[in-house]
Amino acid sequence: MKEQFHMIQYIHEGPTVLKRTLEKNSAAIQSLSQSVHDRQIMRVVICGLGSSYTAALMAAPVFNYHWPYKTMILPASELFYYKSRIMDERTLLIAVSRSGERGVVVDVLREILQAGGLGIAITGVEDSLLAKNSQFTLLTCEGEEKAFPKTKSVLASAGLLMALGCSLANEDDLEARNRLEMLHRLPEEIGRTIIEIEPQIPLLIPFIREHDYVGVAGTGSNQGVALEAAIKIQEAAYIFTRGDSTAGWLHGPVGALHDRCLMIPMVMKDDQEISKKMLLLSRKFDAHILCLQSPHLEMDEFCDCSLTISADVGSLLSALVYLPPIQLITYYWAVDQGLDPDKPRLMQPILDAILPPNREEPDRD
C-alpha cells in the first residue's frame, strides 16, 4: 500500500522521536526531580485531555510503583472540582498537551501556580500558552505532526512521563534506576515491533473490516493504550470503539458483544490468565478476536488471529511497545475505507470547541 499520508510516516518516526525526547530531557528531568525533593512535594497530579490524558494513564503505573507519595491522574476538565483539596504548595502538577493550546489545560496550570505549588508543562511546542505559563517545561521532540490523530507525540509524552516517574523515586530504589535504563533501550524494541508487525496488518484487513464495533483491553500501562485505541480508531477510522481494562470487560461490557464485534486484547505474561477468561467469554458471545501478544504465549486457541510484539518489557513499560501496532491497525483500517487519516471530517468542529479564542493548532496545512 502506498504511504501517501503523514500518519504512517509519523508512526515510523516514533522510536526515533522517543529516543531523542528521552536524551534531550535527561538533564532537565534530574533538575526537576531535585526541585521536587527540595520543595518536599507530597502529591503528583497529572492531567491532560484526549491523547495527552491517555498518555498520562500509560505512565500511571510507573508513578504508582516508584513515587513514594500520592499520584492522581485526572482529565484537566475534572480538576476544577477538586482544586481546593489537591492544589497546594506541596503539589506537583504535570500538565500535558502536545499543542500547548488547550484552554482548560492552561487554566489548570495557572491554578496550581496561584496555589503556590509546582507546575510543569509537557508539550511539543516551545512558545505555546502552556509552556509560557509553566515553571518547568519538558519538550517532546516530535517536530512537525500535521496529522490530526497524533501518534509519535503520544509515544514521546508517555515515555517522557515514565522517565520522570522513575527519576522521582527514592535514591535507594534500584528497580527505578534499572527501569529507567530499560526505558532508554526501548526505542530499538519499538522499531523492531513496527518492522515485524506492519507487513502483517494489510493481510488482516479483510478480516478486520468485517466488524463495526471494537473492544480493546489491557492491564498495567496497556490500560492506557486501550483508551488511546478508542480515541484513534474512532477519530480516524470512524468505528465505534470501547477501551477498558481486561478485568473491566468482565464486569458487564462483554455481555454486549456479538458477531460483528472485534476484540483486541493486549496480552502479556503477567496478565495472560485473566485475558484467557475474558476471551473465553467473548467467544461465547460470538465476538471475533485479534490478539496482540508478547512472545512465547500460547494464545492461539483463544483468538482468530494474532500479532506478536518483539519483546515482553513488563507491565509498567508495555504501553510503549503495544501502542504502535494499535496505531498501525488504525491507519490501515482508515485507508482501506478510502478515508484520509490525516484530516478526519470531525477535525475542525473539535478544534473550534477546544482551542482558546484566536489560537490555532500548530502544524496545520
Indicate which CATH number applies to the domain containing 328: 3.40.50.10490
Domain boundary among 193, 225, 242: 193
Cα 269-274-277 angle, rounded to 5 deg? 125
Helices 174-197, 319-336: inter-axial angle, 10-degree rounding: 20
Instruction: Give the Å distances, CA to CA, from 341 to 48, 98, 147, 168.
Output: 23, 18, 7, 37
Q: What is the pLDDT of residue 98?
A: 93
* Per-residue pLDDT at 295: 94
Query: Would you say residue 341 lies in a domain?
Result: no
User: Does residue 269 lie within any of the structural domains?
Assistant: yes
Same domain, yes or no, for 97 and 239?
A: no
Within-domain flag for 349:
no
**Burial of residue 68, with CB atoms counted within 10 A of its CB: 0-12 exposed, 13-18 middle, 19 or more buried:** exposed
pLDDT of residue 2: 47
**One domain, residues 21 and 155:** yes
Q: Is position 351 within any domain?
A: no
Whether 218 and 332 map to the same domain: the answer is yes
Does residue 342 lie in a domain region? no
Same domain assignment for residues 248 and 266: yes
316 plus 329 within the same structural domain: yes
Domain that holds residue 31: 6-193
Could you tell me if 182 and 261 lie in one domain?
A: no
SS3 342: coil
What grid cell was written down for 365?
A: 496545512
- pLDDT the model gives residue 351: 59
Find all residues with CB under 8 Å of 332, minimum gap 6, and list them: 1, 201, 202, 205
| Residue 18 maps to a domain | yes
Per-residue pLDDT of the chain (365 residues; tens, 9 = 90+): 445 899 999 999 999 999 999 999 999 999 999 999 999 999 999 999 999 999 999 999 999 999 999 999 999 999 989 988 999 999 999 999 999 888 899 999 999 999 999 999 999 999 999 999 999 999 999 999 999 999 999 999 999 999 999 999 999 999 999 999 999 999 999 999 999 999 999 999 999 999 999 999 999 999 999 999 999 999 999 999 999 999 999 888 998 999 999 999 999 999 999 999 999 999 999 999 999 999 999 898 999 999 999 999 999 999 999 999 999 999 999 999 999 999 987 666 665 665 566 656 676 55
In this structure, are residues 99 and 75 in contact, taking their beta carbons and an 8 Å threshold? no
Model-level pTM?
0.93
Q: Which pLDDT value is given to residue 251?
A: 85
Looking at the structure, tell me whether residues 16 and 41 fall in a common domain: yes
Q: How far apart are the first and last CA of the chain?
A: 23
> Are 272 and 147 within one domain?
no
Where does a domain end: 147, 168, 193?
A: 193
